[in-house]
Amino acid sequence: MNRSRLGCVRTTVTCLVLLSALFGSVGMAHASEKPNIILLLADDLGYGDLSCFGSPAVKTPHLDRLASEGARLTRFYAGSAVCSPTRASVLTGRYPLRFGITKHFNDVNRWLPESATTVAELLSDAGYNTAHVGKWHLGGLHVDQQGRRLDNQPGPRQHGFQFYQTQIEQQPLRGRMGRERTLFRQGGTVLLRNDLRVGEDDTYHSKHLTDANGDYAMELIEKFSADQKPFFINLWWLVPHKPYEPAPEPHWSATAADGISDDQHRFRSMVEHMDAKVGLLLAKLDELGIADNTLVLFTSDNGAAFEGYLGELKGGKTDLHDGGIRVPMVVRWPAAIPSGQTSDAFGHTNDLLPTFCDAAGVELPSELPLDGMSLLPHLKGGPAPSVDARGTVFWQLDLYKHLQRHYPKPKPFATEVAMRGKWKLLALRGQPVELFDVEADPNEQRNIIDDHPDLVASLTDQLEQWLNAPRTPK
């Protein structure tokens, strides 16, 4: 063989070896790569407020895409019928009552205890970049005259988030903006980013709140994707919580319709605006080539308030019937979750922490008590967790006598729920008042409490034990 040909052979062999090593290492890296995780949490979005969950009015093509390319869970529950308790459930995987959180926070003197272990802390310890964007409502977002965050309450950084951007949650500021209906349109003027108030010279200062949240999340995705570390972004929209405000164009004009109220028009425009930002976020993942190994999950913090759509479900926000706690949930992770799934398996916001840690390969501390369980094996195509494996699930909420709907709150009132499989017991201060078979009667129309005395006694006993369990309020 002449030298020229020998050189060509050697060059070819060398190139093949290098390419083999390169593609082999890329394949191995992808196989062992931890996923990015994005949690999208709406505020007061009802069970039927996405078109993929039957909305007759609102169009949500981007969230529908998320559902079609992943899984849609039709029996998913928020940890409470109001916001702050559910948010504690999302972050900790534990019942809000474990921390003495029994109602929504009032922007004055309540917060999630710093001793609570959060999903952000667990993922940060496992090498993740972590960020919170949007509404917080778990305390610690007050500022001094210079716009610096006060450190007398724990905020996002004390709960494991390395970066954050949210609104200042301080009275009388928030109350005034709510009454004036400027909380969204002037939302950028009261942003707090990484413990400092955003100044007038900041590009986000003039932004609509929904744009500020979506744009900052995409900015972080760009920043984090250039790093070697995976990321967790906790994006909590304020949409479609009151005040109802007109979303910017084209969403305002696109949602005009005959025969609807001004508030209903505003509501629809707000939801479609949020959906459009989700679409841009998904496009950003595609553009960066990281969509395949990014887990994106969307749900709501409680059931629908005034303008939201519940279908035939009973109750609504502030009420423990399913209209107040059953919420839409969709999740996509192309590398691991088969597309086009619909499941009626029970799920709960307590399950999010163990599910995310399972996806990230994070071993949960043996001493960490959790009230949820990983849904990942089921989402990957396995069986749903059995009733025996999950046991009885509980809710507690201080009594709100008024429903945030256009009709009275259902009676009898309830402050607790114990649910085991299809059986749902509602109680008022520990005393049973209603029992429903939510499989046969999902709209909770037939109270069968007198037909199952042994079951009622068993669930009531479990509820009493749960209510009397130790709490960690500080």
Catalytic residues, by residue number, are 83, 137
Structure-block tokens of residue 239: 């949409």
CA 46/CA 18 separation, integer angstroms: 54
Structure-block tokens of residue 44: 């007061």
Give the CA distances from residue 6 to residues 1, 12, 17, 18, 208, in Å, rounded to whole numbers and listed in that order.
6, 10, 16, 18, 67
DSSP 82: S
What is the number of helices (H) and of strands (E) in the chain?
A: 13, 14
DSSP 188: G
Radius of gyration of the chain (CA): 24
CA 75/CA 53 separation, integer angstroms: 11
Are residues 149 and 108 in contact, defined by beta-carbon separation less than 8 angstroms?
no
DSSP 432: E
CB atoms within 10 A of CB 153: 17
CA 292/CA 338 separation, integer angstroms: 12
Bridge partners of 166?
192
Structure-block tokens of residue 224: 């984090």
If 0-12 CB within 10 Å is exposed, 13-18 middle and 19+ buried, where does residue 205 land? middle
Strands 129-134 and 341-348, sheet pairing: unpaired
Strands 231-236 and 163-167, sheet pairing: unpaired
Q: Which amino acid is at 339?
A: S
Cis ω for the linkage preceding 432 (within 30 of 0): no
CA 305/CA 177 separation, integer angstroms: 19
Are residues 88 and 112 in contact, defined by beta-carbon separation less than 8 angstroms?
yes
CA 70/CA 68 separation, integer angstroms: 5
For the four alpha carbons of 88, 89, 94 and 98, in that order, the dihedral sign comes to: positive
